[in-house]
Structure 1
């Protein structure tokens, strides 16, 4: 039997997040069977291959904020992608009570 790498487990979890919803790094870690590994999720997402079709933009921090530096090209891209899916920001945050994907 072949063991699936942690990165692959994380990617499979992220792939399940539906449009118009977000998940926190901790939720993704739990779904991937890696409880307590939110930082690993962040590091893995940071290393996604160029041109990946994974919905990386749907992963946010526990406060509902984007983790990329505000004002960066990546931040703007993530925010635009989320807004195009109907997610409304309240200041720099996404109200998780409204948009968090419930597992």
Structure 2
């Protein structure tokens, strides 16, 4: 039996996919005794989704929808431009300030800005500069007096987020 057929047999895919014993996956599943919860004995438990369904009491955070993605991007741009020299915000702090939890979307907006924003003022939660821009960010931090500390990373430094954190007024 080829590796492909073994994988198909294990996953129960494909017409005629069978185990070496000659029984189809569907036959094996139907032969298992039923349990009280409706699953057959020995069946894998149902997989929980990666994200739980939002609770009606979830709070003020809302994920940006495709319709307001441009508005979200514009608000990210406005907020990043307001960050004063020598101060920083994390991707998550920017998202929270905009009433969202979409820190990755903030990163996407930043990556598509074409370098027109002060990108070095937006750091990862541990104070590390954006990936791949560690060397380019350091001269900006030095010129603006952003507090940096040594770190055991490839860059060799990180921003001291506790001292550099900026929170928008409002």
Q: Following superposition of structure 1 onto structure 2, how do residues 9-48 of structure 1 map, counting pairs within 5 Å?
A: 9-33=75-99, 35-48=100-113
Equivalent residues of 2:86, 2:147 under 8 A apart: no
| 1:65 paired residue number | 128
Q: Does residue 55 of the first structure (1) align with residue 118 of the second (2)?
A: yes
Deviation >3 Å, runs of 4+: none
TM-score by length of 2: 0.51
| Greater RCO structure (CA 8 Å; 6+ sep) | 1
TM-score by length of 1: 0.80
| 1:5 paired residue number | 71
Whose helix fraction is larger, Structure 1's or Structure 2's?
1
Q: Radius of gyration: which is bigger?
A: 2
> Structure 1: 5+ residue runs without aligned partners?
none
1:46 deviates by 0.7
